Structure 1
């Protein structure tokens, strides 16, 4: 596991949530959370249900686990978070002591090509040597990890000394001119890496916009459910109060009726609450996936090289499409979210009122609702629904 040499980026984005150190070989989970490869293997070894330790989302489905010989194959099949790896390296460089690598005096600048930090005289000399005269120096005090990561040169993964200047859509790889003439000669539509990166940047920006929009809609839906639950709680409190008032007037002859009404009311409340909470959990789960993928896309857009941006775009493209399709199909079925009202059979009310009035045990007071004078009684039907059915006086 990586050891943090100093502070990490904002919100500890570069720290693994398992080992709490800088990421080493970060892996991108299906839920868009990131863990060190070694931490992920250790987690899966002790938690074979293969759920993310942060959101309990599935890391691998049952079919995928049955096809592999062990967790190593599952973990290695997950995409590398190359944008996070670059950000971690930049964080490590900036968190080290600001001492010139040449003369050991206080460093004030950093080479964006070789990541060496230097004092002013050594930095000036660095740009005059024939080997390093093309290197660009920048102010160390104002440099951020994202800026440093985005400024790194793109080198070919095959010819490491050659810069990546082309992009092969057929193989989805950033390549140098030597690779283009040797291995990609038959590949059509070779484009400039900068042009491919611009398209990836635009696609990632659209991903961020779409994910943010869906995230906000889910948040609004969750807030609406919470308001509905609060309203239900208020109605139930009023219902219980009315039941108490009514049953107190019925004396001992209706104590058993009062007990049953309360129990049925609480059961109805539990059903409404369970329904709302179940929908809320689903929405929160999808919102978490939207947020995680949006943060990955946003972070990559703000602090990644062209090559890394293309790699991350390829890793996220289909997954984000699937997430957006799923979120587009989500909606709150308000018909399934029960509302609560109270009623009592009118004939039964009339009969009970007459019997109790004859005994002097009930006094019915009219209540004004609009222009009508009504009497309200509380009752719950056999389906667990509380209904308010005013009786015209």
Structure 2
């Protein structure tokens, strides 16, 4: 969930690999995919169809490079690379170092040297570390001020443990990691 695609809007993500488009192509139904993802999807199949809407094509279409989308993706990737250096260690003094991890339990961001206790001290090893992020509030439940650890399948949203004791009590909730694995596996099965 914390991959670069997690930061992109769905319009910039290939629905096959769930990553930001690489060499985006368009097929006749209007949907876009990474060129290699679509090629792999159509390899070893008799019929050609859209992996997203399932529209079948009588002949295998020749995917056209979507130059506009390619430019938008390139612009997004450049912005993303520029944005990576904006997260700094919360512990560093005057000369702040670039943060490498954010602790969702503390909640703070740490450079390599200040992260060391989280890697060696027993009680800190239990904390949840993610790649450094600026928008830490996106990972915290705004109602209960707790870590968003679960995914509510009924409402298609992330929730904290306290949410499952209230309005999401009867809902189907699973750990975020499990939902992510299942979505990726579903996409892989669509390729077949």
Normalised to the residue count of structure 2, the TM-score between the two structures is 0.41
Query: Which has more helix, going by share of residues?
Result: 1
Pick the structure with greater CA Rg. 1
The two structures have a TM-score, normalised by structure 1, of: 0.23
